[in-house]
């Protein structure tokens, strides 16, 4: 990893130039931009969105993005979009073991070709819903960029580090960190070896920090820990391939030069990275297991208050101190649908069966909770303060039911015996 520079602060209005004097001062679109650059505005919201939700950045670049070729369809049969491309969903809990990362000699996969959609919901044309993908990657993108006009992408690396070259600069992320790439911003993914990541593709309202209510003005994910890149552009000759996701399909074209030609930019629409070690967890210091919403890092609201299009929730290392309390999650059924992954370590509700790199799906109103072994242990454990350490699980939680893809049901290593993990929960009623 190199010593990249970053700018701090979720939602900040950043200003950065890779060459001194490139950024216009006092106006956005002077008659002539310095250094022969072109001005280009990228909006992540309607122009008229309320100030608190308005997202846009000004890019000063060597050529504007209109200088490109015509698009033709690009085949990526594993990439699916919206509920319509999912399979019928049984009302069962589902779980998968880690999907192996193919060896580069067997099947070379970059980020675009390595995407495997696991679950989908919503409708991309209605700007609502999301997909959870895996990306199984063993090769860097070289003169190829990806642009997702269908949604913003939240990357959760699980194995292997990523170098993300974006129009707005370079970010490096490793397991334990996440990256948020705004809709429509070109990026490419460089890897160092076999790499697995979870990806949330959010068709809905952009992710933002959750309201804190009575928690107050600090805590959970603090804004200053989100890092944006500084302006950087690449040199190098030769054509570039642009792969664009647009309307649920992939398209490709060739253009003469690199899209990573932005010499300066300013604004609040920017890729971000965040290290989950900076998440300030809050939990019970008296009794009872709180709702997992206390672990929300980012939320994409829907048009119903408090009922998210998608919440990104983490289960990081933390102390368990609650008295006279069954400390793991309770048994439950929820309106919301829960897709989970495990970056590393053990998850307290499923210490053995849920593997790092694996996935689980508990859709709306599907009962779930600790497996029989976890129940037994937690029901009899001494309630001394206990650190859940070396662990990071996460959840993409959505108001819309997820549909698994054909890949998830037929290709991925599904744990066919998942439901048996609860079979040992016998009737223990003691009639007085
Ligand atoms: O089901 C799960 O494992 C996720 C979850 C965790 C928790 O602490 C409370 C509720 C919940 O859905
Ligand atoms: Fe749950």
Q: Tens digits of per-residue pLDDT, 51-103?
A: 999 999 999 999 999 999 999 999 999 999 999 999 999 999 999 999 999 99
Candidate of 294, 328, 338, 378 to mutate for ligand 1, largest count of ligand atoms within 8 Å of Cβ: 338
Ligand index nearest the alpha carbon of residue 313: 1
Which atom from ligand 1 is nearest to the alpha carbon of 349?
3
**338 labeled binding residue:** yes
pLDDT computed for residue 236 by the predictor: 78
Residues having CB closer than 6 A to ligand 1 are 292, 329, 332, 338, 349, 362, 368, 395
Report CA(285)–ligand 2 centroid distance (Å): 21
Give the end-to-end CA distance of the chain in Å, rounded to a whole number. Answer: 64
pLDDT computed for residue 145 by the predictor: 98
Report CA(319)–ligand 2 centroid distance (Å): 20
342-372 residue pLDDT tens: 999 999 999 999 999 999 999 999 999 999 9
pLDDT computed for residue 1 by the predictor: 53
**347 labeled binding residue:** yes
> Is 97 tagged catalytic?
no
**SS3 letters for the chain?**
CCCCCEEECCCCCEEEECCCCCCCCCCCCCCCCHHHCEEEEEECCCCCCCHHHCCEEEEEECCCCCCCCCCEEECCCCCCCCHHHCCCCCCCCEEECCCCCCCCCCCCCCCCCCEEEEEECCEHHHCECEEEEEEEECCCCCCEEEEECCCEEEEEEEECCEEEEECCEEEEECECEEEEECCCCCEEEEECCCEEEEEEEECCCCCECCCCHHHCCCCECCHHHCEEECCCCCCCCCCEEEEEEECCEEEEEEECCCCCCEEEEEECCCCEEEEHHHCECCCCCCCCCCCHHHHEEEEECCCCCCCCCEEEEEECCEEECCCCCCCCCCCECCCCEEEEEEEECCECCECCCCCCCCEEEECCCCCECCCHHHHHHHHHCCCCCEEECCCEEEEEEECCCCEECHHHHHHCCECCCHHHHHCCCCCCCCCC
Catalytic residue among 97, 266, 289, 362: 289
90-141 residue pLDDT tens: 999 999 999 999 999 999 999 999 999 999 999 999 999 999 999 999 999 9
Report CA(332)–ligand 2 centroid distance (Å): 7
ipTM computed for the complex: 0.99
For the entire predicted model, the pTM comes to 0.98
Give the Cα separation of 365 and 369 in Å (integer): 12
pLDDT computed for residue 311 by the predictor: 98
* Ranges under pLDDT 70 in the chain: 1
**38 labeled binding residue:** no
Query: What domains can be seen in the chain, in order of their start residue?
Result: 6-275 (2.60.120.10), 277-415 (2.60.120.10)
Report CA(218)–ligand 2 centroid distance (Å): 26
């Amino acid at each position: 990893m190199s010593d990249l520079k970053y700018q701090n602060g979720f939602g900040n209005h950043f200003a950065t130039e890779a060459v001194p004097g490139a950024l216009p001062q006092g106006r956005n679109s002077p008659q002539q931009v310095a250094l022969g650059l072109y001005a280009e505005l990228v909006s992540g919201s309607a122009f008229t969105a309320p100030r608190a939700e308005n997202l846009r950045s000004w890019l000063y670049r060597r050529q504007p993005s209109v200088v490109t070729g015509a698009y033709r369809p690009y085949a990526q049969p594993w990439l699916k979009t919206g509920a319509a491309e999912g399979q019928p969903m049984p009302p069962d809990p589902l779980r998968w073991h880690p999907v192996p990362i193919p060896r580069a000699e067997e099947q070379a996969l970059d980020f675009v070709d390595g995407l495997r959609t696991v679950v989908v919901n919503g409708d991309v044309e209605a700007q609502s819903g999301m997909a959870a993908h895996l990306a199984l990657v063993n090769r860097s993108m070289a003169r190829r960029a990806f642009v997702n006009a269908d949604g913003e992408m939240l990357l959760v690396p699980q194995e292997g580090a990523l170098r993300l070259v974006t129009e707005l600069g370079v970010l490096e992320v490793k397991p334990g960190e996440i990256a948020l790439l705004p809709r429509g911003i070109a990026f490419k993914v460089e890897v160092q070896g076999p790499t697995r990541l979870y990806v949330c593709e959010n068709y809905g309202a952009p992710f933002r920090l959750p309201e804190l209510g009575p928690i107050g003005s600090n805590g959970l994910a603090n804004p200053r820990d989100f890092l944006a890149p500084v302006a950087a552009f690449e040199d190098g000759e030769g054509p570039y391939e642009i792969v664009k996701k647009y309307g649920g399909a992939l398209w490709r074209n060739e253009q003469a030069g690199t899209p990573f030609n932005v010499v300066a930019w300013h604004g609040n629409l920017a890729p971000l990275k965040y290290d989950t070690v900076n998440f300030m967890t809050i939990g019970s210091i008296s009794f009872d297991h709180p709702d997992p919403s206390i672990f929300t890092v980012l939320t994409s609201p829907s048009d119903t208050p408090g009922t998210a299009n998608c919440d990104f929730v983490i289960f990081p290392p933390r102390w368990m101190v609650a008295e006279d309390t069954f400390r793991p999650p309770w048994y439950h059924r929820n309106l919301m649908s829960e897709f989970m992954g495990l970056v590393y370590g053990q998850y307290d509700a499923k210490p053995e069966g849920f593997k790092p790199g694996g996935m689980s799906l508990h859709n709306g109103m599907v009962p779930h909770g600790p497996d029989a072994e976890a129940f037994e242990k937690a029901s009899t454990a001494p309630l001394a303060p206990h650190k859940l350490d070396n662990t990071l699980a996460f959840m993409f939680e959505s108001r819309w039911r997820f549909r698994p893809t054909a890949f998830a049901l037929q290709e991925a290593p599904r744990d066919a015996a998942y439901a048996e993990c609860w079979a040992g929960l016998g009737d223990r009623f003691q009639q007085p």
